[in-house]
Structure 1
């Protein structure tokens, strides 16, 4: 049996996209991926992200928004940035870590002018599904 791939999902505020990616990686790829998430800032866990993940059968309600510095001293195989700001401001990781950028739209930005809660949640669901589909392609899509 091979060791799991250790991945840090990094976003600006660790409130939505990186939390979704961590949740899906843990739910869909146990034994294949060990997942963590963090931000270059902290914005708190987004309640709409929690809600749409619950709809998909993944509970992230116990997650917390955290900085990279809040994580224990871990060696990652990959640091994957999920937004442009995190990619541009990604801290240095020593060792053999590979950096990869896979951008996804920002649900809170898309939903800020929504006319209803249903319209707002539709943006979260679309991005959630895109992240889930990408996670399902792991580890092959990491090359």
Structure 2
């Protein structure tokens, strides 16, 4: 599951737009990115120019009002100037708040200043993505068939895996209700599936959601697809119980 990052500055005309385009270009496979301003204007032509000169796409890049985005779920809110940091306070909770401070290149209206700002933001984003990958352990997983099939050999784990595949993502409380199973049992089996590389997690407020690991290799995707086509009876009752839940957690997304 991609982590969601919102860059914020005052006008959303240069620094935060550059950051949005840079992170999307550098690590779009791992992040969903947007930017906004506390008092947005419009993209500065020179900001777009230096991005294009660096080979970074600017299609669809536009200034946005923070109020239009702050009610969405964000994992990180990164401010790019002191003014935005003070005006934003603690928006988009429970997102992690990160404060960067880059001089505004707009007053100078000089190409060299915009190019330098782009370079400095790129360096900071490179560090951010490196730290994130270390924290989340985003490294290629070696899928040993013996370990994978051992993890799936348990009926409950296989059923939970197929139900998560069917629903795309589920939290522990939903799985507990779906299988009418105690929470410790569910958590223990989910941990085994996660350790084997079959599942990944994402925290959203007080809930932790489980989904199929995006690094699963193609051969294993085919195995799961074929298993699902032949094993519908394993999750039929769980699907019915899940559908009957009246107070399922609300998933916030775009």
Fold agreement, TM-score > 0.5: yes
Q: Which residue of 2 aligns with 1:66?
A: 64
Runs of 4+ that moved beyond 6 A? none
> Contact (CA 8 Å) 1:43, 1:65: kept in 2 or not?
yes
Q: Which residue of 2 aligns with 1:136?
A: 126
Counterpart of 2:106 in 1: which secondary structure? helix
Correspondent of 2:30 among 28, 32, 44: 32
Counterpart of 1:44 in 2: which secondary structure? coil
| Post-superposition offset of 1:131 | 0.7
- Give the TM-score, by structure 1 length: 0.84
The alignment of Structure 1 onto Structure 2 pairs a total of residues equal to 133
Q: Comparing both chains, which one has the higher relative contact order based on Cα–Cα distances under 8 Å and sequence gaps of 6 or more?
A: 1
Unaligned runs of 5+ in 1: 113-119
Distance of 2:25 and 2:124 partners within structure 1 = 13
Q: For the pair shown, which has the larger CA radius of gyration, 1 or 2?
A: 2
Indicate whether 1:126 and 2:116 are aligned: yes
Q: What aligned pairs does 1:45-124 form with structure 2 within 5 A after superposition?
A: 45-71=43-69, 73-90=71-88, 92-109=90-107, 111-112=108-109, 120-124=110-114
Change (3 A) 1:125 1:75: same
RMSD: 1.9
Change (3 A) 1:94 1:26: closer
> Contact (CA 8 Å) 1:83, 1:104: kept in 2 or not?
yes
| Post-superposition offset of 1:38 | 0.1
Higher share in helix: 2
Unaligned runs of 5+ in 2: 136-254
